[in-house]
Amino acid sequence: MSMMKGPAIFLAQFVGAQAPFNSLAGMAKWAGDLGYRGVQVPTWETGLIDLHLAAQSQDYCDELKGVCAEGGVEITELSTHLQGQLVAVHPAYDELFDGFAPDSCRGKPAARQEWAVQQLMLAAKASKNLGLDAHATFSGALLWHTMYPWPQRPDGLVETGFAELAERWLPILNAFDDAGVDLCYEIHPGEDLHDGVSFERFLEATGNHARCNILYDPSHFLLQQLDYVQFIDFYHEHIKMFHVKDAEFNPSGRSGLYGGYQKWKDRPGRFRSLGDGQVDFSRIFSQFAKYDFEGWAVLEWECCLKHPEDGAREGVDFINQYIIRTTDKAFDDFAGSGADQAANRRILGI
């Protein structure tokens, strides 16, 4: 018998300048009071965590765990989504992604990448000190600008791109292996790892590294029109993290998958608060139960319409109703005959 853990909540979209959203203690109590059991912590939010100190000090990590426990929650994972993005940035995106880096690295792509790698190395040590077994990040992208093949991609371009991406990530993956922590890439448009095929390419380029794993978020698959339930069949051995996030896709005669550069609320594909979109969570949670997924169900709130605090409040009951405690017996055991091998042979007439 196994059971998914949860509900938990990713704090990134809720951090703010006002209490309780301006400190880990405040957010832990806020989440705990709502009924959450865990919080996923964005490491770029220095008001919540000092990543350097967490990588160096067990005492500090014990304090962080204590602060969360007082609020009624535990830390489920750390996140380096923004830093991971900067491990691989195509020059066309330099100016846009400079906002993810400290001032000292802006306008300096090499320094920015070095800083990002250092952040991931710290996150590996911090995760170990916090007793965590999984970590969330983005892969970054060198090939995304060639996603739609026009003009056609030259032979060998994709292979070269994934070889370079793997070379940048292998030292980080090794650091996470040393820490005993799975590195989970959120499969996400804008990243070179944006679907199953691209994850497979990267995994192969890393030599099938044991710590190269997946953060599963069905909202990104629905918007790509990918079968997000069958994805679990294909990759359940690599899925170590789960963002519970909803979305909807309503194409029209004017706009479809690419969205026409419209704002989120006007796009055919848009993220919604849990229960307001089209994702079939009943099938997803059933599929995870089938494969005995024991990780956390973490709400990631992103909605272009609903207030975030309303989405957070509603998310607790939503996740709780779908988490399945798997059975330790068959439903038809009452009709079992307790046959032995001799009986089986008689039944078969042999």
**What's the pLDDT score for residue 332?**
64
Q: Which two tokens stand for residue 331?
A: 């439903």
Bond preceding residue 268 cis, omega within 30 of 0? no
Q: What is the pLDDT of residue 157?
A: 98
Domain total for the chain? 1
Is the pLDDT confidence value at 2 over 80? no
Residue-level pLDDT at 325: 85
- Mean pLDDT, to the nearest integer, of 300-310? 97
Specify whether the CB–CB gap between 83 and 43 falls below 8 A.
Answer: yes
pLDDT digits over 317-327, tens only? 999 999 998 87
pLDDT (average), residues 67-90: 98
- What CATH number did the domain enclosing 54 receive? 3.20.20.150
> Could you give the CA distance from residue 208 to residue 296 in angstroms, rounded to a whole number?
24
- Say whether pLDDT at 165 is over 70: yes
The range of the structural domain enclosing residue 324 comes to 5-348
- Please tell me the predicted confidence (pLDDT) of residue 136: 99
pLDDT at 335: 65
Q: What is the pTM of this model?
A: 0.96
* CA gap 89, 96 in Å, rounded: 10
What average pLDDT does the structure give for the chain?
96
First and final C-alpha spacing in the chain: 36
Please state at what angle helix 228-235 crosses helix 196-205, rounded to 10 degrees: 20
Query: Any idea of the CA torsion for 312, 318, 320, 324, to the nearest 10 degrees?
Result: -140
pLDDT for the residue 105: 97
| Cα 229 from Cα 152, distance rounded (Å) | 31
pLDDT digits (tens, 9 = 90+) for 241-270: 999 999 999 999 999 999 999 999 999 999
- Closest by CA to 54, choosing from 44, 40, 64, 45, is 64
Q: Which residue has the tokens 């909803």?
A: 246
Lowest mean pLDDT among 1-10, 81-90, 154-163, 228-237: 1-10
The rounded percent of the chain whose pLDDT value lies above 70 is: 98
> Contact 70/99 with Cβ under 8 angstroms?
no
pLDDT in the model for residue 347: 85
pLDDT of residue 1: 58
Confidence at residue 331, expressed as pLDDT on a 0 to 100 scale: 66
